[in-house]
Each structure stands twice: as C-alpha cells, then as structure tokens.
Amino acid sequence: MWIITVFSNGENIRIFEFDTEKEAREAFHHIQGYKILTEMVCLEPSSSLVAI
C-alpha cells in the first residue's frame, strides 16, 4: 500500500491511498503542496502496519 500525505495552506492535511507504486508516483507529480510519499508494509498478518 502506498500513501501520499499532503500538507496545504498551512492548515489542511489530506491523505491518499494507492495499491501500486506506479499509481502513487503518477498522482504524486500532479498533487500540489508539501507532500510525502510513504510505502506501508505489513510484516505479519496480525500486526499493525509499519511505515518505511
């Protein structure tokens, strides 16, 4: 899972979720504002997600 977190106007935070890296990277180039691209990896089926 890929996540884009966008900080815009100094107040708003938006989060977008993508299934593939390709989708996320394409969207990343079109989104305006300060943004962070993160890959979420599940290490074990029963554990919580870990950001890398």
pLDDT at 2: 95
Residue 13: predicted pLDDT: 93
17-47 pLDDT per residue, tens: 999 999 999 999 999 889 999 998 876 665 5
Could you please report the per-residue DSSP string of 10-47? TTEEEEEEESSHHHHHHHHHH--SEEEEEEEE-SSTTS
- Residue 38's domain comprises 2-51
The whole-number average pLDDT for the span 4-15 is 89
Q: How confident is the model at residue 50 (pLDDT cuts 50, 70, 90)?
A: low
Where does the pLDDT of residue 49 fall: very low under 50, low under 70, confident under 90, or very high at 90 and above?
low
Task: Provide the number of structural domains found in the chain.
Answer: 1
